[in-house]
Chains A and B, each alone.
Chain A
Amino acid sequence: MLQNAFRGGARFWTLLALWALLIAVGTMAYASQLTQGLTVTGMSRDVSWGLYIAQFTFLVGVAASAVMVVLPYYLHNYKAFGRMVILGEFLAVSAVLMCMLFIFVDMGQPTRVLNVLLHPSPNSLMFWDFMVLLGYLVLNLVIGSVTIEAERKEAPPPRWVRPLIYLSIPWAVSIHTVTAFLYAGLGARPFWMTAILAPRFLASAFASGPSLLILLALLVRRFGAFDAGREAVRALGTIVTYAMAINLFFVAVELFTALYGGMPHHVHPFAYLFTGLEGHAALMPWTWAGQTLGVVCAVLLLVPALRRRDAVLALLCGGVIASLWIEKGLALVVTGFIPSPLGRITEYTPTAPELAITLGVYAVGGLMLTLLYTLVVNVRKRLQPA
Chain B
Amino acid sequence: MGETRRDFLTGLGAAAVAGCGLPLFDPTRWLQASVAPGTAAAATQWAMVIDLELCRRDDVRRACMDACRREHNVPAIPDPDERIDWIWAEERQHVFPDLVHEHTAVEVREAPVLVLCNHCTKPPCVKVCPTGATWKRERDGIVMMDMHRCIGCRYCMAACPYGARSFNWRDPRPHVARDAEGKPVSDYPTRTAGVVEKCTFCAERIRAGREPACVEAVRAVPGAAGALTFGDVTDPGSPVSQLLRHEQTVARLVDLGTGPNVYYLVSRSPVAAAEGEGA
Whether B152 lies near A340 (C-beta < 8 A) is no
User: Which residues from B are CB-within-8-Å of A46?
Assistant: 81, 163
A126 touches B128 (CB 8 A): yes
B37 at the interface (CB under 8 A from A): no
B124 within 8 A of A: yes
Contact B158 A37 (CB under 8 A): no
In the assembled complex, A222 has its CB within 8 A of some CB on chain B = no
Looking at the assembled complex, report how far the CB atom of A58 sits from the nearest CB atom of chain B, in whole angstroms.
18
A39 is contacted by which of B20, B161, B170 (Cβ under 8 Å)? Answer: B170
Binding stretch for chain A, among B45-53, B90-98, B223-231, B267-275? B90-98
A 105-127 binary contact with B (CB < 8 Å = 1; else 0): 01111111111101101011111
Question: Is B21 engaged at the interface, CB distance under 8 Å to the other chain?
Answer: yes
A36 to B155, CA, bound (A): 21
- Looking at A115, A123, A185, the one whose CB has the most chain B CB atoms below 10 A away is A115
With known contacts A186-B124, A188-B124, A189-B158, A43–B169 Cβ distance under 8 A: yes
Would you give the shortest CB distance from A182 to chain B, in whole angstroms?
Answer: 8
Chain A residues with Cβ below 8 Å from B158 are 48-49, 186, 188-189, 336-337
- Choice from B79, B130, B170 contacting A37 with Cβ under 8 Å: B170
Docked CA distance A185–B125 (Å): 12
Q: Is A45 an interface residue (CB 8 A)?
A: yes
* 0/1 string, A184-209, CB within 8 A of B gives 1: 01111100000000000000000000
Contact with B along A95-108 (1 / 0, CB 8 A): 00000000100111
Residues B149 and A115 in contact, CB atoms below 8 Å apart = yes
Tell whether B171 is near chain A: CB-to-CB under 8 Å: yes
Tell me if B166 is interfacial: C-beta within 8 Å of chain A.
Answer: yes
Q: A341 contacts the other chain (Cβ, under 8 Å)? A: yes
State whether B258 touches A127 (Cβ < 8 A).
no
Q: Are A108 and B124 CB-contacts (below 8 A) given A44-B81, A187-B258, A340-B163?
A: no
Instruction: Tell whether, in the assembled complex, residue A38 and residue B194 are in contact, meaning their CB atoms are under 8 Å apart.
Output: yes
Contact B167 A124 (CB under 8 A): no
Q: Which residue of A lies closest to B252 (CB)?
A: A341
For residue B257, CB closer than 8 A to chain A, the reply is yes
Asked if B202 lies at the interface with its beta carbon under 8 angstroms from chain A, I say no
B168 is contacted by which of A108, A121, A127 (Cβ under 8 Å)? A108
Distance from B15 Cβ to chain A, minimum over Cβ atoms (Å): 16
Q: Is B160 in contact with A37, judged by CB distance below 8 angstroms?
A: no
Instruction: Determine the interface band of chain B, counting residues with CB < 8 A from chain A.
Output: 35 or more
Q: Are A107 and B153 in contact (CB under 8 A)?
A: yes
Assuming the A-B contacts A37-B194, A124-B129, A124-B130, are A346 and B81 also in contact, with contact meaning beta carbons closer than 8 angstroms in the complex? yes
Question: Nearest chain-A residue to B95 (Cβ)?
Answer: A342
Nearest-neighbour CB distance to chain A for B180, whole angstroms, equals 28
Q: Interface readout for A322-337 with B: 1 if CB under 8 Å, 0 if not?
A: 0000000000000011
Q: Which of B132, B158, B159, B258 is the most central at the interface, judged by chain A CB atoms within 10 Å of its CB? A: B158
B104 to A: closest C-beta gap in Å: 15
Q: A74 at interface (Cβ–Cβ under 8 A)? A: no
Expressed in whole angstroms, the Cα–Cα distance for A336 and B158 within the complex equals: 9
The answer to whether B219 has its CB under 8 Å from any CB of chain A is no
Nearest Cβ distance between residue B87 and chain A, in whole angstroms?
A: 14
Most chain A CB within a 10 A radius of its CB, from B97, B133, B159, B194: B194
The distance from the CB of B191 to the nearest CB of chain A, in whole angstroms, is: 11
Q: Of all chain A residues, which has the CB nearest B255?
A: A187
Q: Are B195 and A108 in contact (CB under 8 A)?
A: yes
Q: How far is the CA of A109 from the CA of B170 in the complex (A)?
A: 12
Q: Which of A115, A185, A341 contacts B151 (CB 8 A)?
A: A115
A116 touching B130 in the complex, CB below 8 Å, given contacts A37-B170, A43-B169 = yes
Q: Do B131 and A188 touch across chains, with their CB atoms under 8 A apart?
A: no
Instruction: List residues of chain B with CB within 8 A of the CB of A48.
Output: 154, 157-158, 167
Using Cβ atoms and an 8 Å threshold, which residues of chain B touch A337?
158
Min CB distance, A192 to chain B, in Å? 9
How far is B91's CA from A106's CA once the two chains are assembled, in angstroms?
31
**Interface check B207, CB cutoff 8 A:** no
Whole-angstrom distance between the alpha carbons of A114 and B149 in the complex?
10
Q: Per a CB cutoff under 8 Å, which of B129, B170, B196 touches A36?
A: B170
List residues of chain B with CB within 8 A of the CB of A49: 154, 158
Contact among A106, A186, A343 with B159 in the assembled complex (CB-CB below 8 Å): A186
Complex: chain B residue closest to A41, CB-CB: B169
Q: Does A130 contact B (CB under 8 A)?
A: yes
The answer to whether residues A39 and B169 also contact, given A107-B151, A116-B151 and a CB cut-off of 8 A, is: yes
Instruction: List residues of A (142-199) whose CB comes within 8 Å of B's CBs.
Output: 182, 185-189
Contact A114 B22 (CB under 8 A): yes
Q: For the complex, is B127 an interface residue (Cβ under 8 Å from A)? A: yes
Sample (24) of A-B pairs whose CB atoms are under 8 Å apart: A37-B171, A37-B194, A38-B167, A44-B169, A45-B163, A45-B167, A49-B154, A112-B151, A112-B152, A115-B22, A115-B130, A119-B132, A123-B128, A124-B128, A124-B129, A125-B128, A186-B124, A187-B257, A188-B159, A342-B90, A342-B95, A342-B163, A343-B93, A343-B97
Q: Which 5 A-B pairs have the closest CB atoms?
A: A108-B152, A108-B194, A44-B81, A188-B161, A37-B193
| Residue ranges of B at the interface with A (Cβ–Cβ < 8 Å) | 20-24, 79-83, 90-91, 93-95, 97, 124, 126-133, 149-155, 157-163, 166-171, 192-196, 253, 256-258
